[in-house]
Structure 1
């Protein structure tokens, strides 16, 4: 007569919270090398956000010497994010319909520059908040990059 909260069939009349949503396979993208490059650089940049958080925590705990490492690591992160943009451009050039990696990578790069500016200006509240946001944005990009299905190149070299 009724449906349970775990009923995921289409026979139920109502949609339930937590019901499974069918996922269709994402279309394959051209360029295994570009996909792999994006995945590697994005994963390394994601790890850098965690290192930045650790270094910031050390600084907040009173280890004033960690500020130099935190500053240096910020530039390492920016270089990785720039390389992430390059990888996203390479991927986009082969798959003009696939715009989200490029938009996300450019957005993260802009946010990283703003983050560095806020840190240099000692705007710590905004700097800390944007740092947490950058960690989340970078994690989301990595997760989505690993969901891309790379196919053999369809264009002749």
Structure 2
């Protein structure tokens, strides 16, 4: 027998884990960016590589949000937020590759805030009284 709340809990946990890892990556990116701004040119390659790690984690976050949405069609905010963050992450990488420093730094700070807000909200999700979709 399928228990809707236990399936929902697994999907919520997946979203929480992936989002928390992506959030930690924004902090690593900020650290590497600070090192770059302080003149540590050896930080440029790790910063660039970490950008792709962050994008991959956000892509996994979108997948987790889709799985959660498929379980509870009324729960759309994780998918919308994750999709928006993924779009912002791609934009962020493009700005970095174009050396648009002011926009790149500002969007990086915004991404850190967006991911933190998503993690906080994901940890407040409750699966009680969820119904299985028809």
Normalised by the size of structure 2, how large is the TM-score?
0.91
Q: Is the contact between residue 30 and residue 154 of structure 1 (CA under 8 Å) also seen in structure 2?
A: no
User: Which residue does 1:13 correspond to in 2?
Assistant: none
Write out per-residue CA displacement over residues 84-132 of structure 1, whole angstroms, 9 at most, x where no aligned residue.
0000000000110110000000000000000000000000000000000
Q: Deviations over 1:31-72 (max 9, x none)?
A: 111100000000000000000000000001110000000000
Report what 1:17 is aligned to. none
Alignment partner of 2:23 out of 42, 46, 63: 46
Where do 4+ consecutive residues of structure 1 move more than 3 Å?
A: 151-155
Larger Rg computed on CA atoms: 1
Structure 1 residue runs of 5 or longer lacking an equivalent are 1-27
Q: Is 1:37–1:87's contact at 8 Å kept on the other side of the alignment?
A: yes
The counterpart of 1:142, out of the listed 116, 119, 124, is: 119
CA distance in 2, matches of 1:105, 1:83: 9
Counterpart Cα distance in 2 of 1:80 and 1:154: 28
Name the Cα RMSD after superposition: 1.7
The alpha-carbon deviation at position 29 of structure 1 amounts to 9.1
Q: Which has the higher contact order (CA 8 A, sep 6+)?
A: 2
Report the counterpart of residue 104 of structure 2 in structure 1. 127
Whether the 8 Å CA contact 2:72–2:131 is kept in 1: the answer is: no
Match of residue 4 from structure 1: none
In structure 2, what is the equivalent of residue 77 of structure 1?
Answer: 54
Count, aligned residues: 128
Determine helix, strand or coil for the equivalent of 1:139: helix
> 2:40 matched to which residue of 1?
63
Deviation at 1:153, TM superposition (A): 7.7
| TM-score normalised by length of structure 1 | 0.78
Equivalent-residue separation in structure 2 for 1:93 and 1:51 (angstroms): 32
Higher percent of residues as helix: 2
Unaligned runs of 5+ in 2: none
